[in-house]
Structure 1
Amino acid sequence: MKALCAALPLAAFVGALPAQAGDLCPLVAELNLALVRTTDHAPVACPEIGFALLEDQPGLRSQAGAYFPDSGRIELAPDLDLTTAYGQSFLLHEMVHAAQFAEGADRAARCPAALEAEAYRVQADFLQAAGLSRDALFTRMLGEQLGRCGAATDY
């Protein structure tokens, strides 16, 4: 496990959200730097990224993002602001899942909660490096709760 050196420069992403998810590939490339610095995973290819409410997805109603292993698609909440480190941290979280599944993770594994624990840890490290200490602490605590092996999750 490697330490995250610095937060991403946000200047390149300031302004209106891109109209097409493909326009997010430069951001994905930047977030890949954080992914490889803080994990042993390889960078992920720019996935298809959509923006939609997850209300109709069982177990995802309260989430800001989701990764769908069958399609490789990342879905983010439409009000998530990817011009901020906070918003970018959610995309990074889902990119961790993309990397995990690209390297053979399985939803039916003995401890799928460990996948969440890693994604929350990477997200928290990114937030901490960006100077968002309180958000990082909350994210780290949430990851510790949701990432416990042997305990059923309700999400």
Structure 2
Amino acid sequence: MRSSAAALALSLCLAPPALAGSCAGMGDLLTFIEAEGGYSVPSDCPTVDRSDLLASVPALRSQVGAFIPATGHILLAHDLDTDSTLGRSYLLHELVHAAQYRSGAQLHVRCEGELEREAYRLQTSWLRQKGEFREAMLLDWAADALGRCPGDKMAMDY
């Protein structure tokens, strides 16, 4: 998520938090997040919704997914193919955010950028394990650009 303002805007557009959804079809992603990120595998998962809200909220137009802490929902672009390796990596990224908030990690970071950096790190690690090196490299740039706190310098020099 890019900003608290975007999270607030989306939370106002959504109904009250739904009961957590099934983890069916996410077992491999959750196991990876547990092994690589140290987060516990939940017995229930966030509700995953396909939505055009990402395109309608200006701060989120360029995103294919978002985790909304206020509701516990994951929103995915309606045209994201979660059967593809790249599409599943975006679901994994949002599941990392859900795990971060479930564990209280957001209370122990300097800024939201640190949460983004970790989500991208796990996403790119998963992509590399699947042999998707080009996509991982491109997302490394996003991790560096979006995973900074105010005052941090770019880690990579392009």
TM range (shorter): 0.7 to 0.9
1:77-122, CA deviations, whole angstroms, 9 ceiling, x for partnerless residues?
1111111111100000000000110111348953210000000010
* Equivalent residue pairs, number: 131
Match of 2:60 in 1: 60
* Structure 1 residue runs of 4 or more that deviate by more than 4 Å after TM superposition: none
Distance 1:108 1:34 in 2: 22
Q: Structure 1: which 5+ residue stretches go unaligned?
A: 1-21
Provide the TM-score with structure 1 as the length reference. 0.76
What SS does the aligned partner of 1:131 have? Answer: coil
> Residue 76 of structure 1 aligns to a residue in which SS?
strand
Residues 31-70 of structure 1 aligned to structure 2 (within 5 Å): 31-44=29-42, 45-53=44-52, 54-70=54-70
> Are the counterparts in 1 of residues 64 and 80 from structure 2 also a CA contact under 8 Å?
yes
Deviation at 1:151, TM superposition (A): 4.5
Contact 1:94 1:119 in 2 (8 A): yes
Contact residue 21 and residue 45 of structure 2 kept, 8 A? no
**Larger RCO (CA under 8 A, 6+ residues apart):** 1
CA distance in 2, matches of 1:127, 1:121: 10
**What does residue 105 of structure 1 align with?**
105
SS in 2 for 1:49: strand
Secondary structure at the aligned position of 1:36 is classed as: helix
Provide the TM-score with structure 2 as the length reference. 0.75
Contact 1:47–1:72 (Cα < 8 Å) also in 2: yes
Q: CA RMSD in A?
A: 2.2
Which residue of 1 is the match for residue 27 of structure 2? 29
Which consecutive residues of structure 2, in runs of 5 or more, have no partner in the other structure? Answer: 1-19, 153-158
Cα contact 2:51–2:75 (8 A) shared by 1:
yes
Structure 1 residue 65 displacement after superposition: 0.1
Name the amino acid aligned to 1:118.
E
Structure 1 window deviating more from structure 2 (50-59 vs 106-115): it is 106-115
Equivalent in the alignment of 2:80: 80
Is contact 1:29-1:46 (8 Å) kept? no
Percent identity, please.
38
- Note if contact 2:109-2:115 (Cα within 8 Å) is conserved in structure 1: no
The answer (yes or no) to whether the contact 2:106–2:112 under 8 Å persists in 1 is: yes
Write 1 or 2 for the structure with the bigger share of helix.
2
